[in-house]
Amino acid sequence: MSITIEVNEQANGKTVALSGGQVLVVRLPENPTTGYRWVAESNDAMKLEADEYFPNNTGIGAGGTRQLRWSALAPGQSQIILKQKRSWETTGTAIGHFSLVVISK
């Protein structure tokens, strides 16, 4: 069983270290009814294992949490970059940005 390291929006711009077998979970607030969704940029050093949305409640238009789960493909340093944007818009129109440096051992 792997050990999970969890971070949220407060980790934006910070660094996290993963040891062998650890998994990184990033949780960010999201309201997909607005059309804006967190999207990960490509990363050759980290594998995106899961991308899930969990609503806070069942009310119409209610927000929730986007949960992205990564594992390291090899030891080293990489950066996870997420942008909150609408799928039909370019990355220059993102309303939110999240980045995290990951050091894998």
Q: Specify whether the CB–CB gap between 37 and 66 falls below 8 A.
A: yes
Whole-angstrom Cα distance, residue 22 to residue 102? 12
For each of the domains in the chain, give its residue range(s) and CATH number, in order of start. 4-104 (2.60.40.2020)
Whole-angstrom Cα distance, residue 90 to residue 28? 20
78-95: average pLDDT: 88
For residue 59, what pLDDT is reported? 76
Report the candidate in 49, 100, 56 with the shortest Cα–Cα distance to residue 77: 100
Give the 3-state secondary structure percentages of the chain, helix then strand then coil, rounded to 5. Answer: 10, 60, 35
Radius of gyration in angstroms for the set of CA atoms belonging to the chain, rounded to a whole number: 14
Whether the per-residue pLDDT at 23 is higher than 70: the answer is yes
For residue 21, what pLDDT is reported? 84
